[in-house]
């Protein structure tokens, strides 16, 4: 198995793996396959074996279930994990932010969080109060660094004026490049790391689906823009390009999509979920891939065509 690569997150000396483990799938709400607690713990422990030290979770993932599983996995190895979680939805006062943090600390069985993030921005006044609460937690030592998620440039500037921010978590993939100016701003202007999530476009870039694929009524992908009738054929052309490139290297389309994302300017780490240990190992192996310029150009052309033709949505999920 290729060795993991690491980078410094934002303006700090915090060393994080360029592949991060997304832990949303450790809850029934976000999981596409049923997993036992033993299965989930096996994925987490194998991640550490592979050198994946950045784990991203949130209270909203299964109403605390994901944090609870992560908390069990880090026992005996807490100092080897860079633990990132988020403030609970709706907790927008300093007091509520502190309560959310205390609840996360209990579920995670730890006395500090490496990176505590604002999950989604709110109105300006509420953002300010949330960030004041977050800064207080950093000052107490319960939180090492403050981060945000899904913040635009104006919101980033407001956040940075209240609390030192280490990272912004943003969606980014071959089929979702709308935030590239913001990614450049974070890196070049603010020295803030970018944690890229949904690098597989909610699964459209894995190569497992075609235009005839139908999901069960409760499946979250029914609300994903990439699977909408007007978008899916266009997105699948990008998947075909990833498959074509992968065939030259003995790689899956998913591995190609992950490595493309990881190598884009301004990206600190790519958050990828894994439903099994073999899938985790495949994802981790993506860090060692070095594509030649011809293949990078092929992917860029396919992505550019998609971005020019596909309808633009506000988020990846639209009912």
**Residues assigned a catalytic role:** 61
Strand partners, 81: none
Q: Which two tokens stand for residue 196?
A: 């890229």
Q: Tokens 């026992």, residue?
A: 75
Whole-number Å distance between alpha carbons of 162 and 142: 18
The residue length of the chain stands at 319
Q: Tokens 């069990």, residue?
A: 72
Q: Tokens 């998620």, residue?
A: 149
Task: Say if residue 214 is exposed, middle or buried (CB neighbours under 10 Å; 0-12, 13-18, 19+).
Answer: exposed
Q: Which two tokens stand for residue 158?
A: 């407001």
Whole-number Å distance between alpha carbons of 253 and 235: 13
Largest CA distance in the chain: 55
- Using DSSP's 3-state secondary structure scheme, residue 6 falls into strand
Strand partners, 138: none
C-beta neighbour count of 48 within 10 angstroms: 17
């Amino acid at each position: 198995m290729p060795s993991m690569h690491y980078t410094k997150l934002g303006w700090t000396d915090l060393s994080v793996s360029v592949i991060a483990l997304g832990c949303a799938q450790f809850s029934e709400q976000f999981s596409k396959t049923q997993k036992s607690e033993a299965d989930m713990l096996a994925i987490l422990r194998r991640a550490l074996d592979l050198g994946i030290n950045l784990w991203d979770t949130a209270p909203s993932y299964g109403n605390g279930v994901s944090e609870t599983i992560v908390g069990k996995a880090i026992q005996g190895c807490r100092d080897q994990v860079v633990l990132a979680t988020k403030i609970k939805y709706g907790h927008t006062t300093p007091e509520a932010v502190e309560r959310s943090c205390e609840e996360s600390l209990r579920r995670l069985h730890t006395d500090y969080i490496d990176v505590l993030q604002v999950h989604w921005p709110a109105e300006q006044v509420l953002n300010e109060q949330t960030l004041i609460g977050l800064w207080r937690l950093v000052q107490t030592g319960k939180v090492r660094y403050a981060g945000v998620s899904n913040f635009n440039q104006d919101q980033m500037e407001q956040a940075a004026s209240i609390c030192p921010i280490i990272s912004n978590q943003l969606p980014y993939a071959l089929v979702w490049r709308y935030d590239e100016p913001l990614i450049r701003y974070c890196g070049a202007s603010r020295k803030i790391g970018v944690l890229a999530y949904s690098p597989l476009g909610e699964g459209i870039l894995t190569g497992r689906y075609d235009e005839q694929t139908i999901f069960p009524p409760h499946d979250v992908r029914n609300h994903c823009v990439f699977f909408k009738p007007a978008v899916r054929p266009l997105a699948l052309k990008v998947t075909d390009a990833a498959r074509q490139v992968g065939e030259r290297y003995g790689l899956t389309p998913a591995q190609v999509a992950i490595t493309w994302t990881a190598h884009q300017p301004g990206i600190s780490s790519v958050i990828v979920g894994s439903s099994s240990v073999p899938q985790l190992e495949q994802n981790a192996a993506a860090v060692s891939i070095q594509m030649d310029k011809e293949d990078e150009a092929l992917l860029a052309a396919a992505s550019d065509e998609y971005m020019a033709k596909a309808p633009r949505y506000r988020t990846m999920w639209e009912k």
